[in-house]
Amino acid sequence: MPYVNIQITRGATREQKAKLVKDVTDSLVRVLGKKPEHIHVVIQEIDDENWGFSGLLTDEWKKQQSQLLSSE
């Protein structure tokens, strides 16, 4: 019984999350020969302030990127 946990920062639409679940399920069926009814996919959305990237919290990193883009 495959269990897949996908962690993303907040912001994906319901449609995007549904596509992730479908694509991951289809991949496990195709590659491993698993039955779709045995596959569990969990999507956890993490607040930007609780996710670190490139040595910064993601909310701070996004602020820096926004400032860089606005100064170009």
Domain layout of the chain by residue ranges: 3-70
Of the pLDDT bands very low, low, confident and very high (cuts 50, 70, 90), residue 71 is confident
Of the pLDDT bands very low, low, confident and very high (cuts 50, 70, 90), residue 68 is confident
With a cut of 80, say whether residue 72 has pLDDT above it. no
Per-residue confidence (pLDDT) for residue 69, from 0 to 100: 85
Total count of residues recorded for the chain: 72
Phi, psi of 11, rounded to the nearest 5 degrees: 130, -15
Burial class (CB in 10 A: 0-12, 13-18, 19+), 25: buried
Q: What is the assigned CATH class of domain 3-70?
A: alpha beta
Full-model pTM: 0.81
Q: What is the pLDDT of residues 5-54, one digit of tens each?
A: 999 999 999 999 999 999 999 999 999 999 999 999 999 999 999 999 88
Token output for 1: 């019984």
Query: Which residues are catalytically annotated?
Result: 2
